[in-house]
Amino acid sequence: MSEAVTDDRGLVQMVLEPSATSARWFVGLGAWGLLLAVLNILHLAHPTQRISWAGVLTMGELNKAFEPQTTASAFVASDAVFMALCGGALFLGLRSIAKEDGGVEQFLKSLLSNRTWKALSSTKDGATMTMAAWSLLVGLLFYLVWGLRYSGWFDPGVYSVSAILVAFGFGLRFYSLADEGRRQAATSERSMVAVGTSSFATLSRAEQKAARRAEAKAKALAKAEASKAVSAPALPSEEE
């Protein structure tokens, strides 16, 4: 019973105080949800249908997901619930980001000026990062242009295109960052080896000879111990 309570408290804590990555997801999803909610009230989220958030979130159990705009109510309870959920996610994400160095201001600046967008016109961080940047940009632009032109902000067909491009872009970006981390680790290891070699070179000749003799002596001792173990007579068995 106590373990279940501890797990529940841990989950609640993760939601109320999200990590840096989770906070950014909270902000993105919360802002996007609020945008869709406002557009839905204005009958701009879909060309002909009004979205029922109760129907969408429960897969049609509580209500139909779509209703004709001509007969649907202008504002219903599910609109308020959905906006409260999205607003809460946005608030929790921004509150967590505000505790970081630079706060919300630095976060907003980083949305426009970061390594990903700089890779659009440069391959300094690798071709993979450049491909990731262009995939993200094309996916976002496709969604924005289609939404502005056709009021298709909530369209599964649009999502099937833009979501694939954005997901592919994020995947390439994470791969590029991970590959960079591996390269930096390898470079650091080579630097440590070089430092050790250079440190040995700075020793005097007498010290170098002593170090080599000590290394040779250790190898000879290890070889002797191995030979002794191999040539040692076997213990008699109980039958003998």
| Residue 75: both structure tokens together | 């504002």
| Residue 221: both structure tokens together | 């001792």
Cα→Cα distances 198→189, 201, 204, 220, 234, Å = 14, 5, 12, 26, 48
Alpha-carbon distance of 113 to 117, in angstroms, equals 7
Question: What integer pLDDT is reported at residue 113 of this predicted model?
Answer: 86
Question: What integer pLDDT is reported at residue 120 of this predicted model?
Answer: 92
Question: What integer pLDDT is reported at residue 239 of this predicted model?
Answer: 43
**Where along the chain do its domains lie?**
12-104, 190-221
Question: What integer pLDDT is reported at residue 207 of this predicted model?
Answer: 65
* Token pair 């940009």 in the structure block, residue: 137
Cα 33 to chain centroid distance, Å, stands at 20
User: Per the confidence metrics, is the pTM higher than 0.85?
Assistant: no
Strand-pairing partners, residue 182, are: none
Question: What integer pLDDT is reported at residue 72 of this predicted model?
Answer: 84
Question: What integer pLDDT is reported at residue 215 of this predicted model?
Answer: 74
10-residue averages of pLDDT along the chain (240 residues): 51 87 94 95 90 89 87 88 96 94 91 89 89 95 93 88 94 87 67 55 64 74 60 43
Question: What integer pLDDT is reported at residue 140 of this predicted model?
Answer: 95
Question: What integer pLDDT is reported at residue 14 of this predicted model?
Answer: 86
Cα→Cα distances 141→60, 145, 173, Å = 30, 6, 18
Alpha-carbon distance of 45 to 53, in angstroms, equals 12
Question: What integer pLDDT is reported at residue 156 of this predicted model?
Answer: 86
Question: What integer pLDDT is reported at residue 130 of this predicted model?
Answer: 94
Helix locations, 42-154, DSSP H:
53-57, 77-98, 103-112, 115-118, 127-150
